[in-house]
Structure 1
Amino acid sequence: MSEQPVEMPRPKPQVGLAISWAFDTFRRTPVPFIALAAVVAVIQMVQQVGTQPINNIVLDCNDAQTAGQQAACAAALGGAAVVGVAVMFLFLILAFFATIGVYRAALDTSNGIAPDFKVIFKTENLGRYVVFSLAYAGLVIAGLVLCILPGIAVAFLLQLGPFYILDRGYRPVEAIKASYAAITKNFGPAVVMVLFSLVVSALGSALYGILTLVTLPFATLFIVHMFRQFNGEPVR
């Protein structure tokens, strides 16, 4: 009777190891990551500048006193709302696609491939990524509408889906299942991962988003390393 091979348990994910790797990797190859993050930062800055006139209209209309002023403000706000939503939607789409480049560069780096700005133009698995993102956003919004907590749970459990699609070419449903499995099996480290990423992202919003040049690549590299650890994969 032959002996069954003993499966070695996976080492527990180490948040400190991921932070150290993200810091060292960004320090060694800052230029391509900063260039990719700069695209996102510029888009966000232009969005803020583009919506500023609309904000000014809102502030001015707070002091409307006469009937004529109120009527003029109502007309101005109606047009501003349409323009504001259109501008915000446009720049959200641009930032969405630009961020994919940072994700691809971080995944490549974890596989031993030097980061390159050209990844921002790659379209591999892009359709699946878009479909997943729409489904993800829809589920999160539905959960928030229902009772808030379900939306937070969905956002937490499915957060690794984009990396499964970009790295492995998973279909949206496969990515959802894989992310759920990885997060639930590594619940504690996943919570720490999210909290740390939120803190880093909050820092990135300072100084009109300029710090995004550093915080976005760093946070992405950190998450990618945790993603590799959750799946028992080596980081090269």
Structure 2
Amino acid sequence: MTNQDPPPGDDQNRPDDLPPGRPPSEMGPPLPPPPPDAVPPSTGGAAPPPGGVPPMGGYGAPPPGAQPPPPPPGTPTGPGGQPDIGAGFSWAWAKFQANAAPLVVSTLIIGALAVVAYLIVYLPLLAIVGGGGSEISVDPVTGEITGFSAGPGFFVTTLVSAIGLFALFIVIQGVGSNLVRMSLKIADGEEVAVGDLFTFPRGGSTFVTAILLALGTAVGYLLCFLPGIVFAWGAAFTFAFFYDKGLAPVDAIKASFTLFKDNLGPAILTVLLGGLVASAGVLLCFVGVIVSAPIAQLFIVHQYRSMTGGRITA
């Protein structure tokens, strides 16, 4: 045996390892097939984890006992729960201070629209209905009303004025709903501007929702007043669902009633306290409304997000 010859039985040799002229039959017995879990040789790098090599481009399964990273602050953490009244007002006050300029100006614009509706439509309507076109006299003995004449012109004028008042109310409520949308944006950690008051991402559906709310409340008031209060309170979260969840007008009203029914105590407190805070500004010659109304709306949005498990940015 020469130095060039491989040792007998060397099963690591391949045919191309043999010197020239050495037939393959002279090499050792054939190699057995590799086991199923065998790992191909590599030129370097760390050894693969037990259980084989992950697919190309993947990272494999996380190690046992690994926990997912916690969600960032302000993101939803699960289903809704009991809202905190104190935390709601504290959050509303802090967010009002941080966004005072756009909220105050927006509230002033909404108030101006309400004043225009009162001066241009509501007062003339009261004068028409109260005057009746002639002097009214009542017999003190029989109680008979005399001297009242209401021709077709009176009823037409009254109807037109009432329709105008209703239309202005719809416009005010549609524009005012953007105060809800602005409060939702603040809860999402976004910036707001006065221009948001005149932006309608849902288009005509915004005013359809306002019409349905106005009709439901009006019909409820005609039915002995109490049903109107029930409807107004049950539908208090309609625009929150409308903008936050993108629901259709009727579905948003249904969702509001469902939330109110499932969270009766907290919902009643939310609407009651929100209304009291908003009305408190009226006591200061209406000037305080520019502060109390936005704070009340922010508070309601905070409680709504708390009950639905939505995002509330600190």
TM-score computed with the length of structure 2 as normaliser: 0.61
The aligned counterpart of 1:25 is 95
Of residues 108, 119, 125 in structure 2, which corresponds to 1:38?
Answer: 108
Identical-pair percentage: 26
1:131 counterpart letter in structure 2: V
Q: Which residue of the partner structure matches residue 180 of structure 1? A: 257
Query: What letter matches 1:122 in structure 2?
Result: T
Match of 1:196 in 2: 273
- Is 2:204 the partner of 1:134? no
Alpha-carbon offset, residue 122 of structure 1: 1.9
The equivalences for 1:152-191 within 5 A come to: 152-191=229-268
Q: Which amino acid aligns with 2:247?
A: Y
Q: Report how far residue 133 of structure 1 moved.
A: 3.0
Aligned-partner residue type, residue 113 of structure 1: E
- Counterpart of 2:197? 120
Pick the structure with more helix per residue: 1
Matched, 1:12 2:82: yes
Alpha-carbon distance, 1:167 to partner: 1.6
What is the alpha-carbon distance in structure 2 between the residues aligned to residue 35 and residue 147 of structure 1?
37
Task: Name the residue aligned to 1:96.
Answer: 173
Among residues 212, 218, 227, which one is paired with 2:289 in the alignment?
212
Contact between 2:277 and 2:296, CA under 8 Å: does it hold in 1? yes
Shift in alpha-carbon separation, 1:169–1:60, aligned structure 2, 3 A: closer
Partners of 2:234 and 2:259 lie apart in 1 by 9
Quote how far apart the aligned CAs of 1:190 are: 0.9
Unaligned runs of 5+ in 2: 1-76, 138-146
**RMSD in angstroms over aligned alpha carbons?**
3.4
Q: Contact 1:64–1:73 (CA<8 Å) still a contact in 2?
A: no
Decide which structure has the larger Cα Rg and report it: 2
**Counterpart secondary structure, 1:123:** coil
Q: Take 1:116 and 1:223, find their aligned partners in 2: how far apart are those partners?
A: 20
Name the SS for the 1:126 alignment partner. Answer: coil
Taking the aligned partners of 2:117 and 2:271, their CA distance within structure 1 comes to: 26
Give the whole-Å Cα distance in 1 for the aligned partners of 2:117 and 2:287.
13
The answer to whether the Cα contact below 8 Å between 2:129 and 2:158 also exists between their aligned partners in 1 is no
Deviations 1:84-105 (A, max 9, x none): 4355334323312320221121
Which structure's relative contact order is higher, taking Cα pairs within 8 Å and 6+ residues apart?
1
- Cα contact 1:36–1:98 (8 A) shared by 2: no
Shift in CA distance, 75/163, structure 1 to aligned 2, threshold 3 Å:
same
Task: Answer whether contact 1:57 1:77 (CA < 8 A) is retained.
Answer: yes
Matched length: 228
Once the two structures are superposed, residues 43-82 of structure 1 have per-residue CA deviations (whole angstroms, 9 ceiling, x without a partner) of 1222333344665677888x9489xxx6799999768745
Alignment check: 8 A CA contact 1:129 1:166 kept: no
| 1:154 positional shift | 2.6
Residues 135-162 of structure 1, C-alpha deviations (whole Å, 9 max, x = no match): 3333334444445443333322222121
Q: Does 1:48 align with 2:138?
A: no
Assess, with a 3 A threshold, how the Cα gap between structure 1 residues 36 and 194 changes in structure 2: closer, same or farther: same
